[in-house]
Amino acid sequence: MYALIETIHAAGLLTCFALLSTSRIGACIRWLSFQGILFGMVPLIIPDDGLTTRTLLMAGGSLVLKGIAFPWILLKLRARANYNREVQPFVSFVMSILCGILILSLSVWLTLQMKPALIHAPFVLLNSSIFLIFVGLFLMISRRNALMQVIGYLVLENGIFVFGVITVVGTPLLVELGVLLDAFVGVFVMGIAIYHITREFGSMDVDRLTELRG
């Protein structure tokens, strides 16, 4: 059991570093899909009462949405905009990896501070969730491309989802479904926004939005 958790943790870290270092958008989307499936298995493993309908629903929903639906939407968006590479991010790819290591250290430290208060949560998964949140934020800050922003947002949502599953005990299904809905709406809205941005500016560079300032 614990080995499985550690595997998920390690694989999750790997996906994050992959996202930080890859410039090809298609590859990023696939790493995101893998991450979604990976962490979608967490609800099946963690809760003490085992495989109930609730956990099956959560895992299933997460799998379908994050593993299949969102990546598919993102791939279609990428095809429509025909923009395949993140060419010039604000933080270069090498620097991103170094920052990733810094972020990992920060998240470990924070997990150590938080752990005494959260007795149910396994240490590694707590660390994963915090790391995911920070990596998601970092991706949103450092990438120009609107699609990368969506990916960063989804990584952030993954982190929140995992955090919710492992720390909250006995909550109604509504909370987790809420997180899923959150992500769904985010992608939906971003899809529309990306369409308009592309149409208006001819590129997906989000920094061009400063031209709209009054």
Partner 1 sequence: MFEFTAAILLLALGGTLAIVLYPRAGPCQLAGQIGAVLGSASGLVAALRVLITGDAVSLSGTWHMPGGSLHLEIDVLSAFFLLPVFGLSIVTGLYGRSYLANRGGFASAASWLHLNMLTAGMALVIAAHDGLLFLLAWEIMALSPFFLVIFDDRKTAVRHAAWTYLAAAHLGTAFLLVLFVLLGSIAGTSDFAAYGAALKNHQALRSSVFLLALIGFGVKAGIVPAHVWLPEAHPVAPSHASALMSGAMIKVGIYGLVRILTLLGTPEPWWGWLLIAVGASSGVLGVLFALAQHDLKRLLAYHSVENIGIILLGIGIGVLGLARGMPLLAVIGFASGFLHVLNHSIFKGLLFLGAGAVHRAAHSLELEELGGLLKRMPWTGTFFLIGAAAIVGLPPLNGFVSEFLLLYAGFLAVLQPAAAVAVAGLIVIVILGLIGGLAAACFAKAFGIVFLGSPRSEEASEAREVARPMRASMAVLALLCIAIGLGAPLAVASLAGVVAGMTGATVGTVSAELAIVTRPLAVAVSVFAFLIAVAALAWALRARRLAAASVRRGPVWGCGYLFPSPKMQYTASSFAQPLTTQFHLLIRNRETLVPPQGYFPADSSYVSDSGDPALRLLFVPTFRWFDRVVTRLNVIQHGHIHVYILYVAATLIALLIWESL
d(CA 50, CA 59): 12
**Contact call for residue 163 and partner 1 (CB under 8 A):** no
CB of 51 to partner 1, least distance (A): 34
Nearer to partner 1, 59 or 77 (CB): 77
Q: Are 33 and 48 in contact (CB under 8 A)?
A: no
**CA terminus-to-terminus distance, the chain:** 57
CB of 76 to partner 1, least distance (A): 23
Near partner 1 by CB under 8 A: residue from 70, 134, 161, 163: 134
Report the b/e string of 113-150 with b at 16+ CB within 10 A.
ebeeebeebbebbbbbbbbbbbbbbbbbebbbbbbbbb
Instruction: Report which DSSP code applies to 145.
Output: B
Q: Are 8 and 125 in contact (CB under 8 A)?
A: yes
Phi/psi-derived region of residue 50, left when phi > 0, alpha when psi is between -120 and 50, beta in every other case: left
CB of 63 to partner 1, least distance (A): 28
Near partner 1 by CB under 8 A: residue from 56, 98, 102, 209: 209
Where does this chain touch partner 1 (CB under 8 A) — which range of 15-23, 31-39, 102-110, 171-179?
102-110
Nearer to partner 1, 140 or 168 (CB): 140
CB of 90 to partner 1, least distance (A): 6
The site for partner 1 (CB under 8 A) is made up of 90, 106, 109-110, 113-114, 134, 137-138, 140-142, 149, 206-207, 209-210, 212-213
